[in-house]
Chain A
């Protein structure tokens, strides 16, 4: 049997650069939800206690013998509660929800159609500070800034801990494609009507949002000493809208972000929820070897390999339902197939989709790791 010859960082970087590592890298997108449950804590304990949440993630990482990169290293929940740019309200365990429910977003019309002109006039940061903070978080801009500053100081310490340990982070900061951002802010129903009724206005607002997204992406990636920016998109797939609309409302802003980040020497990881199979061909427009796609159970990965193999790194995924309802034999067989079909030539990372479910069976979690660690050494 072969042995590992690379560090996790070398392995991840090789995959990102479309090279073939010593084995298929494996990344489990663990945040405080699964980590807390696995370590015997309630969701309320890890959601509202930064130290408990970060410790749970660390202990889970160690308990499973580490994996190749950390997707999250602090409780995302607490960030959502202070980040007024995240235009949804949240119900949290132990407060609006029972003690062991996971934190859940509540979509509402955080931004109205009338606000579009205000955003164009004020710019996004000013709109967030002067209007959205109060509306979506119930706090003033000063209170939000103070909470964010404290939060960032704590994040900085835990980030430094992981740097000292030599652990690779999946990416730098998380930013949102303006399409996704506006859809969440308007609610999907209202945003859908906007796309058809006032398309030019929507595009002008996305022009405003994308500049802030780029600025945040560059700043955050440098701050985290990384070279990959993670861009979230959960609503733009061909399941939601036609490819003509995708070309009109998504690609131009994706190109703008990709160009800006590449100019800084960064790569871009697109987090793609929903079924992007029919959209995959558009990712060939981006420069070879500069983009990673992270899928979530619905995109056909074999098609992804056929269309993007040798051009785009593919990080994908064991479906959430399989990790929760399935058994290790099923998970093993599924992961073997992914490794056999996608891992032979490099440019592939085995993963779960989106965030690992809170009720993932630990034996299924282990099965994914084992396939990467042992089976893929010999392909």
Chain B
């Protein structure tokens, strides 16, 4: 995706300022667009497109974790302006949802929060359970929300046994084949993905978001209900 040039010129200004981290210009343009009556949901869509461009730059090695953090902060600043103007009936378009948490034994949340911020900005609805989450709580939330994606993050190895327990509980509940399990965090490896029984492992937030999109398409194609 590239920065849109012609259609909706102000939208392209928002995207350009976001991608280039011109904070003042970006926030001014957001406010300007709102004042002139632009649909807030369309502005959020522009932000999502901008986040996708940032993600592409990260994947190409032009941007790094620092830029992901910056983009998440810019998105948050913009949403603070936009959200009060959303009506109750306004539904932000999302491409799916994920139940996310740091499992029992681990209270770290920096990586999880960053993934959450970037993924939310990219259009994924986040159901964040927090840290030190008992395995059964993941299952309860998956059943309650009907989410097809379960994401677990960790920074220390005690989290592995909790992650494995979560996957075991999904099997016991008979819903393992209906969902996808993603694990992340710098302590995780492709090998421990197999040990835990997860579907995907990464230490890269952008890769994680791409995997979410791919899995949701797959599950849709399987007509999993």
Q: What CA separation (Å) do A358 and B161 show in the bound complex?
A: 13
| Max count, chain B CB within 10 A of own CB: residue among A91, A273, A320 | A320
Whether the pair B107, A321 counts as a contact (CB closer than 8 A) is no
Give the residue of A188, A322, A325 whose beta carbon is less than 8 angstroms from that of B69.
A188
CB-CB < 8 A to A325: which residues of B? 160, 191-192, 195
Whether the pair B66, A195 counts as a contact (CB closer than 8 A) is yes
Give the residue of B21, B105, B108, B160 whose beta carbon is less than 8 angstroms from that of A324.
B160
Give the residue of A101, A104, A189, A240 whose beta carbon is less than 8 angstroms from that of B108.
A104
Which one of B34-42, B92-100, B182-190, B207-215 is at the interface?
B182-190
In the assembled complex, the CB of B216 is this many whole angstroms from the nearest CB of chain A, namely 27
Give the residue of B105, B106, B161, B189 whose beta carbon is less than 8 angstroms from that of A322.
B189
Give the residue of A91, A240, A323, A324 whose beta carbon is less than 8 angstroms from that of B64.
A240
CB-CB < 8 A to B195: which residues of A? 325
In the assembled complex, the CB of B46 is this many whole angstroms from the nearest CB of chain A, namely 22
CB-CB < 8 A to A323: which residues of B? 157
Give the residue of A193, A274, A326, A358 whose beta carbon is less than 8 angstroms from that of B158.
A358
Q: What CA separation (Å) do A101 and B161 show in the bound complex?
A: 13
Closest B residue by C-beta to A323: B157
Whether the pair B157, A321 counts as a contact (CB closer than 8 A) is yes
Whether the pair A101, B186 counts as a contact (CB closer than 8 A) is no
Whether the pair A107, B110 counts as a contact (CB closer than 8 A) is yes
Give the residue of A104, A192, A319, A322 whose beta carbon is less than 8 angstroms from that of B66.
A192
> With contacts A193-B70, A325-B192 known, is A241 near B64, CB below 8 A?
yes
Give the residue of B65, B156, B187, B192 whose beta carbon is less than 8 angstroms from that of A102.
B156
Give the residue of B65, B73, B161, B192 whose beta carbon is less than 8 angstroms from that of A193.
B73
Q: What CA separation (Å) do A377 and B81 show in the bound complex?
A: 66
A245 at the interface (CB under 8 A from B): yes
Whether the pair B64, A101 counts as a contact (CB closer than 8 A) is no
Closest A residue by C-beta to B187: A320
Q: What CA separation (Å) do A297 and B185 show in the bound complex?
A: 13
Which residues in chain A, 175-193, are within 8 Å of chain B measured between CB atoms?
A: 188-189, 192-193
Closest B residue by C-beta to A243: B64
In the assembled complex, the CB of B35 is this many whole angstroms from the nearest CB of chain A, namely 26
Closest B residue by C-beta to A356: B157
In the assembled complex, the CB of A243 is this many whole angstroms from the nearest CB of chain B, namely 9
In the assembled complex, the CB of A325 is this many whole angstroms from the nearest CB of chain B, namely 4
> With contacts A274-B186, A321-B188 known, is A242 near B64, CB below 8 A?
yes
Contacts between chains A and B (CB distance < 8 A), count: 75
CB-CB < 8 A to A239: which residues of B? 64-65
Q: Chain B interface: which size bin?
A: 20 to 34
Q: What CA separation (Å) do A102 and B158 show in the bound complex?
A: 9
Closest A residue by C-beta to B194: A325
Q: What CA separation (Å) do A322 and B107 show in the bound complex?
A: 22
CB-CB < 8 A to A251: which residues of B? none
Give the residue of B69, B158, B160, B203 whose beta carbon is less than 8 angstroms from that of A189.
B69
Q: What CA separation (Å) do A104 and B64 show in the bound complex?
A: 26
Whether the pair B191, A240 counts as a contact (CB closer than 8 A) is no
> With contacts A240-B64, A274-B186, A322-B191 known, is A192 near B70, CB below 8 A?
yes
CB-CB < 8 A to A195: which residues of B? 66
> With contacts A107-B110, A193-B73, A239-B64 known, is A101 near B189, CB below 8 A?
no
Which residues in chain A, 320-379, are within 8 Å of chain B measured between CB atoms?
A: 320-326, 330, 357-360
Q: How would residues 14 to 36 of chain B score, 1 for a CB under 8 Å from any chain A CB and 0 otherwise? A: 00000001000000000000000
Closest B residue by C-beta to A296: B186
A238 at the interface (CB under 8 A from B): yes
Q: What CA separation (Å) do A238 and B186 show in the bound complex?
A: 14
A298 at the interface (CB under 8 A from B): yes
Which residues in chain A, 69-126, are within 8 Å of chain B measured between CB atoms?
A: 91, 97, 101-102, 104, 106-107
In the assembled complex, the CB of A161 is this many whole angstroms from the nearest CB of chain B, namely 30
Closest A residue by C-beta to B73: A193
Closest B residue by C-beta to A322: B191
Q: How would residues 37 to 70 of chain B score, 1 for a CB under 8 Å from any chain A CB and 0 otherwise? A: 0000000000000000000000000001110011
CB-CB < 8 A to B157: which residues of A? 320-321, 323-324, 357-360
Whether the pair A241, B158 counts as a contact (CB closer than 8 A) is no
CB-CB < 8 A to A241: which residues of B? 64-66
Closest B residue by C-beta to A324: B157
Q: What CA separation (Å) do A164 and B97 show in the bound complex?
A: 60
> With contacts A104-B106, A240-B65 known, is A359 near B191, CB below 8 A?
no
Give the residue of A106, A238, A357 whose beta carbon is less than 8 angstroms from that of B107.
A106
> With contacts A358-B158, A359-B157, A359-B158 known, is A321 near B192, CB below 8 A?
yes
In the assembled complex, the CB of A35 is this many whole angstroms from the nearest CB of chain B, namely 15
Q: What would 17 A/B residue contacts be, using CB atoms closer than 8 Å?
A: A101-B105, A102-B156, A104-B107, A104-B108, A107-B110, A188-B110, A196-B66, A241-B64, A241-B65, A297-B189, A321-B189, A321-B191, A321-B192, A325-B192, A326-B191, A358-B156, A358-B158
The chain A residues found within 8 Å of chain B, CB to CB, are 91, 97, 101-102, 104, 106-107, 188-189, 192-193, 195-196, 238-242, 245, 273-274, 297-298, 319-326, 330, 357-360
The chain B residues found within 8 Å of chain A, CB to CB, are 21, 64-66, 69-70, 73, 105-108, 110, 156-158, 160-161, 186-189, 191-192, 195, 203
Complex A-B, nearest 5 residue pairs according to Cβ-Cβ distance, in ascending order: A357-B157, A325-B195, A321-B192, A321-B189, A192-B69
